[in-house]
Amino acid sequence: MFLGCHVSVAGGLNNAFERAENVGCEAFQIFTQNQRQWKSTILTQEQKDGFRIMRKNSAFSLVPLTAHASYLINLCAQEDEKLSRSRQALIEELQRCDTLGLEYLVLHPGSHGGKGETWGIETISQSIMSVFSVYKPKVRLLLETIAGQGTGVGFRFEELSTILTQVAQPNAMGVCVDTCHIFAAGYDIRSGWDSVLNQMDNAFGLDSIKVFHLNDSIKPLGSRRDRHAPIGQGMIGAKSFKILMQETLFRKIPGILEVPGGDDVFAENIKWLKSKRDLAYRL
């Protein structure tokens, strides 16, 4: 697994590379604009070219890089205006990722607001198909597993599988597995991964997994509460992450930390994960 974390682009997109290197990243994730505002950022040609050149000359030239979509996007919003706005925002996210040459865009599928999971799944699928009919991206859109708070869609693997099946564009889509989220959703990964990997494989196929978000959980199993913790400081525990680092199926995909505590914690967690991964690969 290419290990890294979410890094800030404050002061300019190019700053992400130095920040990532400083904490020991092998891959990283960014927001391509402010994740809590609708207004779309228009990247200049200088910004686009600068990012690509910086990447080409960095340690990240040959590994997949990831962006995370705005938290405001809800592809099954009940309100027509918000749904339309969400679809347009996703088009713009995909376009920015393509201009920067990023490989993956991670998206929270959406929240149905009480209209039911079936309606939510169908509306999300229709939204993605609508977006793809307007813009065919090079970046791969990844649906993130969620914790299941409120009326969110995607806390059961079968929900993501149904969306992927309905959209029926496997080369354009995939899955991002968040360890905190699946644990909060009720998937027990504390003592091993075999059972949960089998469930994923049966639902959407392990080859659909393109990114992991590596986060421990403050809240207990099945809480359906999304509260991240540094590795080994939550209810999942270090053992689960050690086992995951030994899984050779995921050797060439990014594992991105989104834990609280700042750069020192990122660096410490990345170093620890690398040690477990590298030890397993040498044996």
Set 36, 46, 264, 282: catalytic member: 36
Set 181, 187, 216, 277: catalytic member: 181
Set 18, 52, 71, 251: catalytic member: 71
Task: Let me know if 228 is a catalytic residue.
Answer: yes
- 278: Cα within 13 Å, side-chain hemisphere: 8
User: Where do runs of H (alpha helix) occur along 171-262?
Assistant: 179-184, 194-203, 238-245
Set 104, 178, 216, 277: catalytic member: 178
Task: Let me know if 144 is a catalytic residue.
Answer: yes
Task: Let me know if 117 is a catalytic residue.
Answer: no
Set 92, 103, 216, 226: catalytic member: 226
Cα–Cα distance for residue pair 42/136, rounded to 1 Å: 19
Cα–Cα distance for residue pair 133/249, rounded to 1 Å: 33
Task: Let me know if 93 is a catalytic residue.
Answer: no
Task: Let me know if 108 is a catalytic residue.
Answer: yes
Task: Let me know if 178 is a catalytic residue.
Answer: yes
Cα–Cα distance for residue pair 216/232, rounded to 1 Å: 7
Task: Let me know if 226 is a catalytic residue.
Answer: yes
User: Where do runs of H (alpha helix) occur along 170-212?
Assistant: 179-184, 194-203
Amino acid at 270: I
Set 108, 140, 156, 277: catalytic member: 108
Set 104, 213, 216, 277: catalytic member: 213
CA dihedral 87, 160, 239, 195 (to 10 degrees): 180
Set 93, 103, 117, 144: catalytic member: 144
Supply the residues annotated as catalytic: 36, 68, 71, 108, 144, 178, 181, 213, 226, 228, 258
